Every structure is written in structure tokens, then in C-alpha cells.
């Protein structure tokens, strides 16, 4: 398990507002990492920097030894916190697109996930609910055999009944040697799958620890520990 | 990957554009069919609708392409676009290439539609005669080529400046302008470029002289207009055209093109 992600002195400002303040960390492959923090603390901004959606930052970001660019985009499977579909598209169109651009996309896997989620591959996006679109997006992202999965609020718009199904889908489908970073507010639902957690407050990384270490030191669950920290 | 992006872009835009052209063709055929009947009012309305639609399609295509650029690059769809394993340059070039293609097709569809109406209505010969009368029996080939090139370049530069306006409004510094930002930036850029063009035309000593038949007579390294000539409103048979402005404005468009690419590579933030 080598270092897959190296971040050094990462700072991002919007005008005078510092959203990420001098963040440094390194993450290994084969881990599931929870990215936790209150609204507006910089979680999504950090994800956007890693995916290359934000480019005007200072500091160093290396993913598999490379700065965010064409190569890193080919190994990162990213689930944003919003839906990126055009209304007149169908799931099958999205499969075609992913198959065309990502060599690691497994169409069969995506189709199976669609069946699991009870989604019709020919249904137009504009007739799908937000939750259905989120499930489709998860199927697309998890059907890639990527080295890094960045999942921003994967359970955000999902009803409580389907959350377990989503979590199982994530756990069943990610490549074992991959690094999975999950940003979430719903710590209680997800904490059992984390190997380590990163906690961000006002752009500063305040906790970067193994889950076992937190439990042993504090004797608390991750959610309780989170409440204590914030 | 560039080829795949161009293919994708064509696939995404073809449906709308082809529907517009089919609509235009149906209107044209209906108008043509009705012209053989005695229902002159209906024919008139259809001919008007046909020409109107052709002109609207010609004008609106560029605008639609700019809106599509903004939507696919900087709205929530940008989350997908910008995470595809391609470079920002490839994204930009594929989009501007396909947009330019449709812009050209729509423009010529509009021109051909107007010509078709002139031909069918019998006004074609009159129209041609009028042009012949203005510029001589054989229109200068050089001038026609220049005219077509000027149209193509202006269709392209429209896309360059609208894409630039959309891009700059998605950098940290300009994101605060909101959804009206691209329009404001586009208008501002156009105004500044027009001023630069006028300054270049008047103050750069590069002049083409054309005669009344619009044939190029000579080229000179001199100012096109003398203040005394302008004040006296003196007109010569050889009309001077200051080309410094044209050169300067195209140089500015090249700069805008390069600057947009730089912004896409280094400065853009997806909301």
C-alpha cells in the first residue's frame, strides 16, 4: 500500500476568504477515508482541487505522482454533490459516454447496478427524481475500476431506506487497491466503513487519524467524537 | 481523445440544428408549392415566415452555441465535462470547431433561403442586375473571396468573444457578476474592440485604395485619412481603406483566444 495522494501546503482563496488553509496530508491506497466537517468548511473545495475542477490554488497536489490533469482524471472516479445530467439524456447514453472516455469503465457492472437500483436504462433524466439521478450517478462512478474514488455526499439526497443499498454498492464495487474518500454529514450511517477520518474546520485540517485510534483514545464513536471536536 | 470530443459535440448539437434546418426546408417547400396556386395571401405569409426563420436561425445559431458552451462547461454539467480525461484546450477547440461549423451552415442556409425566394419570385434577375450595375459586369473574384473570408472570420470571432465572456465570468475574480456577467463582459469587450479598431484604422499608416468598381488599386504605407480631407469632406475616386484597424482587431481576437485557453487551464473554477 503506497502513498497515492500527497498534498502539501494547499491553500485556496475566494477573494479575501481563505477556504483551504495550508493543508498538508498524504493518503495511501486501499483505504476508505471519511472527509468530515460542517457546511462550508472546505470539503467540497478540497474535492474540486483533487479532481482538477479548481485550478487556482497554491501548494502542491500530487495524485499517483502527478498534478491534477489528464492522467489523474483518468484514474479518479468522482461523484459530485450535484447532478450533471442533461434532461434529454438516458442512462444508456451516459453508459455510452463513459465507455467512450474512460477505459476503466465496466458497462456490465453499471447495468447490474441499475437493475439493483430499479432504474430503467431508457428513462429520460428529466422524468427521473433527484434521488434516481443520484443513484444513476453512483452507478456510473462505482462502475469504474479507478485508483481513486472521490464521493462528495453520496447519501445526500438518498432516502434512509436506500442508504444501506448505496453503501453496499460502494463497498461491493470499489477496487480493493483504490483510495476512497467519502465526504458526508451522515456520519452515523457511514462510520463503520471508514479506515481513517479527516476533519476540516474553517479550511484547516484539524484531525487526520485512524478510526481505531480515535475509538481507542476517546472511547467514542466517530459521530460522538465529531460532535466533541466541533 | 480530441476526435471523440468532436464526435460527442456533433452528436449533442446535431439534433437541434437538423430540426431547425428541416423546419426551414418544410416552410420553403410549402411556400414554393403555394406559389403555384392562387392563394397569394397564404403564400406571402409563408414566404415571410420562411425568410424570417432563415434569418433567425442564421443569427441565433451563434448565440445558441455560446449558451451551450456556458452550460456544458460552467453549469452543473461542467462537473462531467471537466472531469473527462482530456485537456482544457481539447475541450475548448472541440466546442468552438463544432459551433463554428453550425454557425457557417446556418449563415449560408439563411443566405441561400433569401436567394431562393428572390429566384422563385422572379426578382433574382433584377437583384443581380442591380449588383452588376454597381460593381461591373464581372464581380471581382478577389472581392468575393475577401467578402466570404470576412463573413467566416466574423462568425468565428463572435464565438471567440462569447466563449471568452463565459470563461472569464467563471474565474474567482468575476464569479460575483452572476448570470448577467457574460453579457456584460461580451458587450464591454465588443465596445473596447470597436474603439481599438477605429483607432487602428485612423492612426496606423496602412492603406488600401479601391476604385468605384471595388477593385483594389494600390496599397500604401500612409495614413488613410488626412484631417484636412475629413474636415473638407473631399471625396476622391480612389476610396482609402485603413487596414491597420482590421489587423489590430484580429490581433486582439488572437490574444483573446489564447487568453481564454490560459484561463481554462489555470483559472477557471466550477461553481
Chain B interface includes A100 (CB < 8 A): yes
C-alpha grid cell for residue B266? 489555470
**Does residue B1 lie in a domain region?**
no
Percent of chain A with pLDDT over 70: 100
pLDDT at B117: 75
Q: Do A73 and B83 touch (CB under 8 A)?
A: yes
B134 and B148 belong to one structural domain = no
Whether A55 and B84 lie within 8 Å, measured CB to CB = no
At residue B137, the pLDDT reads 57
Structural domain of B243: 141-271
Q: Same structural domain for residues B129 and B145?
A: no
In-domain check, residue B5: no
What pLDDT shows up at residue B239? 65
Number of domains within chain B: 2
| Model ipTM value | 0.87
Question: What's the CA angle centered on B19, arms B15 and B25, to 5 degrees?
Answer: 145
Residues B24 and B134 in one domain: yes
Alpha-carbon distance B81 to B8, whole Å? 11
Answer whether B213 touches A (CB < 8 Å): no
Residues B21 and B125 in one domain: yes
B162 inside domain: yes
Asked if A90 reaches chain B (Cβ–Cβ under 8 Å), the answer is: no
Q: Are residues B100 and B160 in the same domain?
A: no
| Residues B261 and B157 reside in one and the same domain | yes
For B126, phi then psi, to 5°, come to -60, -45
- Contact between chains at A56 and B171 (C-beta distance less than 8 A): yes
CA A135 from chain centre, in angstroms, equals: 14
Residue A147 has pLDDT above 60, yes or no: yes
Question: For the segment B66-90, what is each residue's pLDDT rounded down to a tens digit?
Answer: 999 999 998 889 999 999 999 999 9
Residues of chain B with pLDDT below 70 are 38-40, 121, 123-124, 132, 134-143, 210-216, 222-240
Give the residue-averaged pLDDT of A122-131.
88
Please identify, among B95, B123, B138, the residue that sits at the C-terminal boundary of a domain: B138
Alpha-carbon distance A38 to B256, whole Å?
Answer: 40
| B145/B93 same-domain check | no
Asked if B29 and B96 sit in the same domain, the reply is yes
Query: Which one-letter DSSP state was computed for residue A34?
Result: E
Mean pLDDT, residues A80-105 taken together: 91
- Residues B187 and B82 occupy one common structural domain: no
Count, residues in chain A? 230
In a domain, B125, yes or no: yes
Residues of B in contact with A67 (CB under 8 A): none
Give the three-class secondary structure for A5. Answer: strand
Rg from Cα positions in chain B:
23
Q: Last residue of some domain: B113, B138, B163?
A: B138
**Residue B48: how many CB atoms within 10 A of its CB?**
12
Of B80, B265, B269, the CB nearest to A84: B80
Q: State which of B111, B138, B165 marks the end of a domain.
A: B138
Distance CA B122, CA B132 (A): 17
User: Does B46 share its domain with B131?
Assistant: yes
Q: In this predicted model, which residue has the larger pLDDT, A118 or B202?
A: A118
pLDDT at B238: 61
**How are strands ordered across the β-sheet holding A3-14?**
A17-28, A3-14, A58-63
Q: What is the pLDDT of residue A106?
A: 92
Amino acid at each position: 500500500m503506497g502513498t497515492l495522494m500527497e498534498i502539501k501546503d494547499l491553500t485556496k482563496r475566494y477573494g479575501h476568504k481563505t477556504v483551504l488553509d495550508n493543508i498538508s496530508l498524504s493518503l495511501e491506497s486501499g483505504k476508505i477515508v471519511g472527509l468530515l466537517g460542517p457546511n462550508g468548511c472546505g470539503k467540497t473545495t478540497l474535492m474540486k482541487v483533487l479532481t482538477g475542477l479548481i485550478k487556482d490554488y497554491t501548494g502542491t497536489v500530487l495524485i499517483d505522482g502527478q498534478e491534477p490533469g489528464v492522467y489523474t482524471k483518468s484514474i479518479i472516479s468522482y461523484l459530485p454533490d450535484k447532478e450533471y445530467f442533461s434532461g434529454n439524456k438516458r442512462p444508456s447514453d451516459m453508459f455510452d459516454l463513459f465507455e467512450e472516455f474512460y477505459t476503466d469503465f465496466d458497462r456490465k457492472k453499471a447495468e447490474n447496478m441499475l437493475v439493483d437500483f430499479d432504474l430503467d436504462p431508457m428513462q429520460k433524466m428529466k422524468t427521473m427524481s433527484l434521488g434516481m439521478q443520484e443513484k444513476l450517478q453512483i452507478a456510473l462512478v462505482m462502475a469504474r475500476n479507478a485508483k481513486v474514488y472521490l464521493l462528495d455526499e453520496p447519501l445526500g439526497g438518498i432516502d434512509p431506506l436506500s442508504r444501506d443499498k448505496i453503501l453496499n454498492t460502494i463497498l461491493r464495487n470499489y477496487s480493493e487497491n483504490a483510495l476512497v474518500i467519502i465526504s458526508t454529514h451522515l456520519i452515523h450511517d457511514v462510520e463503520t466503513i471508514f479506515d481513517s477520518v479527516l476533519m476540516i474546520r474553517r479550511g484547516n485540517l484539524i484531525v487526520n487519524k485512524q478510526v481505531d485510534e480515535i475509538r481507542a483514545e476517546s472511547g467514542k464513536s466517530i459521530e460522538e467524537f465529531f460532535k466533541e471536536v466541533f | 481523445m480530441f476526435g471523440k470530443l468532436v464526435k460527442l459535440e456533433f452528436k449533442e448539437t446535431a439534433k437541434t440544428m437538423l430540426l431547425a434546418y428541416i423546419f426551414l426546408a418544410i416552410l420553403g417547400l410549402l411556400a414554393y408549392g403555394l406559389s403555384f396556386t392562387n392563394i397569394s395571401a397564404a403564400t406571402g405569409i409563408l414566404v415571410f415566415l420562411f425568410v424570417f426563420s432563415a434569418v433567425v436561425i442564421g443569427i441565433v445559431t451563434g448565440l445558441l452555441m455560446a449558451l451551450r458552451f456556458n452550460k456544458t462547461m460552467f453549469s452543473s454539467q461542467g462537473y462531467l465535462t471537466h472531469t473527462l480525461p482530456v485537456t482544457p484546450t481539447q475541450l475548448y477547440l472541440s466546442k468552438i470547431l463544432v459551433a463554428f461549423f453550425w454557425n457557417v451552415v446556418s449563415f449560408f442556409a439563411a443566405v441561400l433561403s433569401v436567394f431562393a425566394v428572390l429566384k422563385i419570385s422572379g426578382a433574382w434577375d433584377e437583384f443581380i442586375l442591380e449588383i452588376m450595375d454597381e460593381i461591373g459586369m464581372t464581380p471581382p473574384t478577389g472581392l468575393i473571396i475577401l467578402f466570404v473570408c470576412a463573413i467566416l472570420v466574423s462568425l468565428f470571432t463572435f464565438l471567440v468573444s462569447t466563449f471568452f465572456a463565459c470563461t472569464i465570468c467563471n474565474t474567482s475574480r468575476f464569479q460575483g457578476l452572476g448570470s448577467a456577467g457574460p453579457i456584460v463582459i461580451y458587450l464591454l469587450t465588443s465596445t473596447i474592440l470597436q474603439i481599438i479598431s477605429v483607432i487602428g484604422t485612423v492612426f496606423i499608416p496602412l492603406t488600401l485604395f479601391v476604385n468605384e468598381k471595388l477593385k483594389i488599386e494600390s496599397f500604401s504605407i500612409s495614413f488613410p485619412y488626412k484631417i484636412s480631407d475629413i474636415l473638407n469632406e473631399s471625396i476622391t475616386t480612389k476610396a482609402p481603406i485603413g487596414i491597420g484597424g482590421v489587423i489590430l482587431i484580429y490581433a486582439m481576437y488572437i490574444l483573446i483566444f489564447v487568453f481564454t485557453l490560459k484561463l481554462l487551464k489555470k483559472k477557471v473554477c466550477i461553481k
